[in-house]
Structures are given as C-alpha cells and as structure tokens.
Structure 1
C-alpha cells in the first residue's frame, strides 16, 4: 500500500525489536536506564507494551530496566509549571495552585516522560523512588537497590537512583532522543566543585495532609547537554550507535558519560565565583 507521502513504513514486531536491541550491545543481566520517543520509531505492533517486553527479553531475568518517572507538574519552580501558567490570570493561577495534587509514588502519573516510561511505571511489579519531582521507576532483579533511599531533597545526586546506577555499572539507552534527554549528565552537576544551589517548591502529602514543601538542592541545567553529548561522543569509543525501527539509538556506559560530564562541566561552565 502507498500513501500520498510514499510507501507505508513497515510495522516492527517484538522479535525484530529484540534483535535490534541486542545489536546495540544490550546484554542479559545488565541494568539499562532508558530514555525514549516512541513516535520516532515508526509503527510498532503492540506499541509501548511490545517495546518494554522486548527490552526485558533482551535484558533477561537477571537484568533491570529503569526509566525516569519525573513529575514537574506538582511544582511551581519547574519549566512545566511556567509554561502552564503562561497567559493565565492571577485567579486562574491561584486555582491551579489550589488543585495541584500531591505526589504519590503509587499513583502519580509522569506524562512528560513519554509512553514507554509510563508503561514501565504502571507494571504491577514496578518499584518507584520517593522523590516528589524526579522519581525513577524500575523492574527487574536490582529494581529495589536502584530506587531505594531516594532522598526528597536530592533530585539527581548522590542520594538518588542515578548514583546507584553509577555504582552498579548501568548502561544508558537513548532511543529516538538525543543527549539533551540524557538524565545521567545531571549526576555530574553534583560532582563539580561548588555547584550552584536554588530553592524548589512542590506539593507533597505530609501527615495525611496536602502541603507545599520548600527545599534547596543543586540548580539543574540541561541547556548545554547537546553540546556536552557531542563532546562525549567525540571523546570515546564506548558509544554504540544504531537504529531501532526508524529511530536512531545510542547505548553507552553511564559511568563513562558521568565522568566525562564532570570534566566537561568543570572546564566549560562558569564557576559561582566567575558569575554568568
């Protein structure tokens, strides 16, 4: 069949997905932090459910699949909130703030993370970390090790799943997305000398009551991650590039990415003493 724009792209099945994931160097028993855009892959029979099954089949029974399950929607210090209130009246903003739901690791969705992340998060056996804005969800042998102990005042630092992924030698899969989406780089922001800090606010449930919570943490900035990723890829042979369906894909060790990012940020980002 043909359309006005050309031939219909082939529908990818689960067997093909598993084969292509293996060709990227994803192996049984590994821990895989995955960022994805399903739209970029083209038509997939079974959609996000089939992709998750293929990833888990590739990782095998001893592997662990991890996804970001971030919830910027419950914060007024997030980019998502600023975009949401653009053009709103003070009354509309007040109503929005009054109705923003508190974070619940069991039920709060992560709509901005994409369909594959939601597929993993909603699996009956999935575990999720407790941070009210930057949680991770995981399934597999080391899921509990990865998501446990996520401190509520540490987005993506030493007391977060990213540090556990680093310790356990995880790999990163960028599936249809670029380095701008590489969450692993944020761990490096905690490891540079004197990282800048800012105040954050979000809605939580404390002692059974909905409340706004304020805390300070490292000021996260992904605006230069594309440049950082390009520099990382030029500097290493540890990145495996390929495709899954119609999507470009990259797989690389998380440790290599974080270590490179620490050195790159130290050299290229201004220190607090230097100013902007």
Structure 2
C-alpha cells in the first residue's frame, strides 16, 4: 500500500526533482490527488522535513480569505491559512515560525528563518524585497509544485512587483492597514498594497522552464511534481516583463486564471 511506503516515495520524488537537502525549499501543494493515491498528510510532511533537515523548508500559509479589509487582523499562531491541507498541517504542527505578512504569510522550519521570514511585514507589498519570495531567489533556493500548477506559484508576483509594480498592484491610496500580532502577542502595524485581480497566464513560464531544461517533472503515484530553481523562474519572468510589462497577462486563446 502507498500509505506504508509514502515517505519513501516522497523522498524518491525529491531526489528525482534534484532538490538540494541543504538549500531552502518552498513547497506549493494541492493534496487531493495525493490523498486519492493513498498518501497521508503526516507522512508527506515528515518526509519533507526529514529530507530538508539540513536546510530550510518553507510552505505558504496565506490567509487572505480570513484577513482582509473587512477583518484587518492577523495572528501568527491562530489565523488559519487558506493554501491547502498540507500547508495548514505544517503551520499547526511543525512550523517554527511564520512571517507576519497579514495576507501572504509563509511558515518555515530549519535554518535562517529570521532571514527568510523576519522582515516580510516591513514591505508594503506581498512579495517585496524583504519577502520570503525575493529572499528565496537571493539565497539560490528551490521551488517544488506538488500536484499543483504554475498558476499557484507566488514567486511570479515578485517579478511583477520588481518590474511593473503600478501595472499589477493597486496604488498607495488604496493600501490597507492591518494589525499583525506575533507569537508573543506583540502587535505590528502593517500597510499593504494589494494585487489587482487580472487574467494572469503563469503556465507560460512552466513551458519555458521545460523547454530550457530547467524543469524536473516527476510522477509521484498519480500526482505530478515539478521542481526548479527560484532564480531560473525569476530570470525568465523578469526578462519577459522588461521586454513587455504586460507579459504575464493572458491573451485571447491563452490559458489563464483570474487572480
């Protein structure tokens, strides 16, 4: 049965995706297909944390469904995430720290958590220079998409913010003020410019990584996992946006997602 050797299968998938155990890994996930294939959440999380025990493991714990303009309060410990059962299990049971960004937080375990997570709330945008997403690039980290498409890869927002912030983010006059409370119950005032809801075609970058030999795709039972270096994706996105600031937007006939 898969449940019996699920951890070994996840470990083998990580190796096949050439994930470096001593690096920083950001994992995006959708667990439904893993569950149907017999994988257990606890086994998958244990495999991920064991594999990355010499490095840093990050999972997104975004909470924009719970923390928003109508409810501008975030707590590092008690605010749930809306990024899936794997991220929520990690947040509740394994994470040693969670960034204090009220809508786009990231949780982590391992080395250098202060560097990756400690200043996220100081940026006025979700994916700014002090966010885990930018620091993942700077640290030569990696990304793993587990059973989920490139449309869920938050790192691409970082490229939007770096190259064409006024195209993709609302202006300062529409910024929202939040109160983020850390695990010691200290309040932090956070002001955030939010992304516009737009037709974004992020799948194009999965194709470009594939054609460039920079994407490692591995079937883990039924689900497909894609691993790649954060710098490779960032470079492709920034190059395309510098050539055309509307490059990430879907055109007629493109596959896109409103986000």
Q: Normalized against structure 2, the TM-score is what?
A: 0.80
- Relative to structure 1, the CA distance from residue 194 to residue 181 in structure 2 (aligned partners, 3 Å threshold; closer, same or farther) is closer
CA distance in 2, matches of 1:209, 1:28: 34
CA distance in 2, matches of 1:54, 1:209: 33
Q: Does the CA-based 8 Å contact 1:24-1:241 persist in structure 2? A: yes
Cα deviation, residue 45, structure 1? 5.9
Local SS of the residue matching 1:65: strand
Partner of 2:256: none
Partner of 1:191: 162
Which of 114, 119, 137 aligns to 2:107? It is 137
CA distance in 1, matches of 2:68, 2:117: 21
Report which of the two structures shows the higher radius of gyration computed on alpha carbons. 1
Cα deviation, residue 26, structure 1? 1.7
1:35 aligns with 2:16: no
1:201 aligns with 2:176: yes
Partner of 2:214: 238
Instruction: Compute the RMSD of aligned alpha carbons.
Output: 2.9
Cα deviation, residue 144, structure 1? 2.5
CA distance in 2, matches of 1:102, 1:219: 19
Partner of 2:251: none
Which of 165, 175, 178 aligns to 2:136? It is 165
Instruction: Kindly report which structure 2 residues correspond to 1:84-233, keeping only aligned pairs within 5 A, or say none.
Output: 97=70, 100=71, 102-110=73-81, 112-123=82-93, 125-150=95-120, 151=122, 153-193=124-164, 195-196=166-167, 197-198=169-170, 199-201=174-176, 203-204=178-179, 215=191, 217=193, 219=195, 223-233=199-209
CA distance in 2, matches of 1:154, 1:173: 23
CA distance in 2, matches of 1:148, 1:113: 21
Aligned length: 237
Q: Does the CA-based 8 Å contact 2:164-2:245 persist in structure 1? A: no
Which of 59, 62, 65 aligns to 1:70? It is 62
- Relative to structure 1, the CA distance from residue 57 to residue 215 in structure 2 (aligned partners, 3 Å threshold; closer, same or farther) is closer
Q: Does the CA-based 8 Å contact 1:180-1:225 persist in structure 2? A: yes
Q: Does the CA-based 8 Å contact 1:14-1:50 persist in structure 2? A: yes
- Relative to structure 1, the CA distance from residue 194 to residue 147 in structure 2 (aligned partners, 3 Å threshold; closer, same or farther) is closer
- Relative to structure 1, the CA distance from residue 142 to residue 123 in structure 2 (aligned partners, 3 Å threshold; closer, same or farther) is farther
Measured against aligned partners, the alpha-carbon deviations of 1:34-79 in whole angstroms (never above 9, x if no partner) come to: 00011122446672111111112222x3121101111112113xxx
Of 138-147 and 9-18, more deviation after overlay is shown by 9-18
Measured against aligned partners, the alpha-carbon deviations of 1:109-158 in whole angstroms (never above 9, x if no partner) come to: 10x20011112212355211111111110101222221011125221111
Cα deviation, residue 218, structure 1? 6.2
Gaps of 5+ in 1: 1-8, 77-96, 272-276
- Relative to structure 1, the CA distance from residue 214 to residue 170 in structure 2 (aligned partners, 3 Å threshold; closer, same or farther) is closer
Q: Does the CA-based 8 Å contact 1:180-1:223 persist in structure 2? A: no
CA distance in 2, matches of 1:262, 1:182: 15
